[in-house]
Amino acid sequence: MKALLTPTNLNFLLQGLWLTLYISFISIVLSTILGTILAVMRNGKNKPLRWIASIYIEFVRNVPNLLWIFIVFLVFQMKSTPAGITAFTVFTSAALAEIIRGGLNAIDNGQTEAGLAQGLTNSQIFIYIIFPQAIRKMLPAIISQFVTVIKDTSFLYSVIALQELFGKSQILMGKYFKADQVFALYGIVAVTYFIINFIISSFSRRLAKKWEQATD
């Protein structure tokens, strides 16, 4: 164990953790923006935009994420990190679009009509009335998708040799062969993923509870 838990090895794993968080954060931000746009397009009255959004969402989310990683990396000849971010953004945006669309559809149409009666534009109604209520309904599903993104970054090493957290652990695995060292290394990685995702889930629950109390 002492041979495994050296400052050099821990720093090596931290570098992988930083890359994991970087890819996850950028992918989540871009996916949320694109997913919201796709959800609005699919819910809109413009038929061409609705068809474009529908085709994108249905096609992308029904193709495995691993395949998107291969396509982006090999077909478009992108470097590993941009390829990982792009692939996760493409796939996750489609999943988030359906989550967001479901949240928007859960809001009663009467609120839109009431907003129009008050002289608000459709954009103002969406920003100030519909979306704030919808986000509360779809928050658990969105957070679950965020957690999935963080966990799925572990695919990147086996597919495009990107040295994120799991990839760094696999490299270290080549230096240590004893059973206790292997289990310890996997344990460190598993606990790290658990802590990150548990913090995100806990924050989500606290935020949802706070919103619930505010509406009581």
Read off the pTM: 0.86
Supply angle C-alpha 58, 61, 65, rounded to 5.
150
State which amino acid sits at residue 89: T
**pLDDT confidence of residue 51:** 95
- The answer on pLDDT for 64 being more than 60 is yes
Torsion of CA 46, 105, 54, 70, to 10 degrees: 140
Could you give all domains of the chain from N- to C-terminal order, each with its CATH number? 7-215 (1.10.3720.10)
Q: What is the percent of the chain with per-residue pLDDT over 90, rounded to a whole number? A: 44
Which residue's entry shows tokens 């193709």? 63
Confidence of residue 2 (pLDDT cuts 50, 70, 90): low
Supply angle C-alpha 202, 203, 205, rounded to 5.
65
Confidence of residue 215 (pLDDT cuts 50, 70, 90): low
> Chain-wide mean pLDDT for the chain?
88
pLDDT single digits (tens) 78-130: 888 999 999 999 999 999 999 999 888 888 878 878 888 888 887 888 888 88
Q: Measuring CA to CA, how many Å separate 31 from each of 65, 67, 173, 211?
A: 14, 18, 33, 24
Closest CA to 80 of 187, 167, 4: 167
- What tokens does 4 get? 């495994």
139 CB-contact burial (10 Å; exposed 0-12 / middle 13-18 / buried 19+) = middle
- Report which DSSP code applies to 193: H
- The answer on pLDDT for 5 being more than 80 is no
Average pLDDT of the residues in 57-71: 92
Confidence of residue 182 (pLDDT cuts 50, 70, 90): confident
4-8, 66-70, 125-129, 169-173: least confident range: 4-8
113-117, 146-150, 190-194: least confident range: 113-117
Cβ-based neighbour number of residue 47 at 10 Å: 8
Average pLDDT of the residues in 156-160: 88
Average pLDDT of the residues in 58-65: 92
